[in-house]
């Protein structure tokens, strides 16, 4: 698949490179696996001199041998003796950057934690000594959110405060996804929504489905849920390294959230254990779930629900992880039957998020969320507020728009509107046919 979007990120990377005429620059490129971090970095660097180092899980000595071989391809390097440590490799690169401007990409930078955690202190020391007299454009890429966050944003870590920019790469927007599908002649609104549900805009998944399916929902599911499909193990591949030995508990929580058990009380009653710490880490350390409150609720309000941010992971936990016994026995047709049976209901909540994303992309609203009262009464799927123009939009969202009754929506919004007495209200019924 060709390179799409990322215009803002490419422009920022270009600006930082231009600044290395005067001094070195350090950029952190983060985001979950499959979001396209490496592709972005290489796309940016392809037109100028650069080195790309992948930090594989192997001994530091072997890594240094690989790195030196790459350095010698592009530079005349008088290496005396044997270089066995990354500290010496980095010192050499800083020395080369005193007279030449180039980009160094360190991919999976967090892996030094298991190879030699002293590397971060060593890099910090060399960076502080050499930054102002070199022209190095350093890009550090990381996929394990908790570790990259710790390395660069924990005040107790040596590289805290050293990054000039931290770029958190997000999945493709609905607009970009629509453009990709149009380029491959998948232009129906229902197709756009189905790809949104299954991929969440993740570039790697989009590329895989374009290459291995005809773009229809039936054919995509046939590929995704079949023997040897790369999607079957994807949830584990993405998350087990993050969670470590307690991944079973985290997976159970995420499966329950994917099934609609979105409150702490519901999850704890089913798991029969206190999960407050797990929810906090899933939200703050791993950035996998988000806490949702009614749009006008106070920050400490107890009306809290949880949702999985990533649409693919939501799908994976709901249909693949939940039916793992069928995966292990190779009964993929059974899983596809389950998906066929439940997909319409499952998509209802995703359609709400779809419209949330569309409203957010419009740039018209400074507040966007949902609303409900105690015991989930008077729930409103979408509330969008413009505090400058003083208008408020309330929408009911269903796959079958005919089931929506605007009079009922107006009745449910009375208490909410009491908090916005001077605002112009608008009530909308939104359904699958409104996607276009």
The domains of the chain are located at: 7-168, 174-224, 361-434
Q: Give residue for tokens 């499909």.
A: 229
Structural contact between residues 351 and 365, judged by C-beta atoms closer than 8 angstroms: no
Structural contact between residues 111 and 147, judged by C-beta atoms closer than 8 angstroms: no
Mean pLDDT, the chain, as a whole number?
A: 93
DSSP conformational letter for 172: P
With bands split at pLDDT 50, 70 and 90, how would you rate the model's confidence at 80?
low
What is the average pLDDT across 264-272?
A: 94
Strands 305-308 and 25-30: unpaired
* pLDDT of 276 over the 70 cut: yes
With bands split at pLDDT 50, 70 and 90, how would you rate the model's confidence at 333?
very high
Q: What is the pLDDT of residue 190?
A: 84
Q: What is the pLDDT of residues 132-188, one digit of tens each?
A: 999 999 999 998 888 898 999 999 999 999 999 999 999 999 999 999 999 988 777
Q: What is the pLDDT of residue 144?
A: 81
pTM of the model: 0.88
Q: What is the pLDDT of residue 301?
A: 78
User: Homologous superfamily of 7-168 in CATH?
Assistant: P-loop containing nucleotide triphosphate hydrolases (3.40.50.300)
Choose between 412 and 375: higher pLDDT: 412
* pLDDT of 82 over the 90 cut: no
CA dihedral (320, 324, 327, 333) positive or negative: negative
Q: Which residues contact 360 (CB under 8 A, 6 or more apart)?
A: 368
Cα 397 from Cα 181, distance rounded (Å): 24
Q: What is the pLDDT of residues 334-344, one digit of tens each?
A: 999 999 999 98
């Amino acid at each position: 698949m060709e390179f799409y979007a990322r215009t803002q990120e490419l422009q920022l990377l270009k600006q930082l490179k231009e600044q290395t005429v005067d001094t070195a620059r350090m950029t952190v490129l983060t985001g979950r696996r499959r979001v396209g971090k490496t592709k972005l970095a290489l796309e940016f660097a392809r037109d100028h001199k650069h080195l790309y180092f992948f930090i594989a899980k192997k001994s530091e000595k072997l890594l240094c041998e690989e790195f030196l071989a790459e350095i010698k391809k592009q530079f005349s390097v008088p290496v005396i003796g044997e270089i066995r440590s990354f500290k010496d490799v980095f010192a050499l690169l800083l020395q080369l950057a005193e007279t030449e401007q180039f980009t160094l990409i360190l991919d999976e930078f967090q892996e030094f934690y298991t190879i030699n955690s002293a590397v971060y202190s060593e890099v910090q020391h060399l960076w502080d000594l050499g930054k102002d007299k070199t022209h190095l454009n350093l890009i550090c890429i990381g996929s394990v959110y908790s570790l990259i966050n710790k390395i660069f944003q924990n005040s107790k870590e040596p590289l805290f405060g050293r990054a000039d920019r931290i770029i958190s790469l997000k999945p493709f927007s609905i607009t970009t996804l629509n453009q990709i599908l149009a380029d491959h002649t998948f232009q129906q609104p229902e197709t756009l929504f189905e790809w949104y549900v299954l991929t969440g805009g993740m570039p790697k998944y989009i590329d895989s489905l374009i290459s291995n399916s005809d773009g229809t929902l039936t054919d995509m599911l046939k590929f995704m849920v079949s023997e040897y499909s790369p999607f079957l193990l994807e949830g584990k591949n993405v998350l087990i390294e993050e969670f470590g030995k307690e991944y079973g508990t985290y997976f159970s929580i995420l499966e329950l959230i994917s099934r609609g058990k979105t409150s702490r009380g519901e999850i704890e009653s089913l798991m029969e254990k206190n999960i407050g710490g797990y929810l906090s880490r899933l939200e703050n350390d791993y950035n996998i779930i988000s806490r949702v409150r009614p749009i006008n609720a106070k920050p400490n309000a107890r009306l809290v629900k949880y949702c999985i941010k990533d649409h693919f992971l939501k799908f994976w936990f709901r249909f693949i992880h939940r039916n793992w016994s069928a995966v292990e026995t190779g009964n993929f047709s059974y899983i596809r039957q389950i998906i066929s049976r439940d997909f319409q209901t499952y998509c209802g909540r995703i359609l709400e998020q779809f419209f949330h994303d569309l409203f957010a992309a419009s740039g018209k609203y400074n507040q966007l969320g949902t609303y409900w009262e105690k015991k989930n009464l008077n729930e409103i799927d979408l509330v969008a507020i413009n505090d400058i123009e003083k208008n408020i939009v309330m929408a009911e969202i269903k796959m079958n728009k005919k089931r929506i009754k605007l009079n009922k929506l107006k009745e449910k919004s009375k208490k909410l509107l009491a908090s916005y007495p001077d605002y112009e209200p608008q009530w909308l019924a939104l359904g699958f046919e409104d996607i276009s």
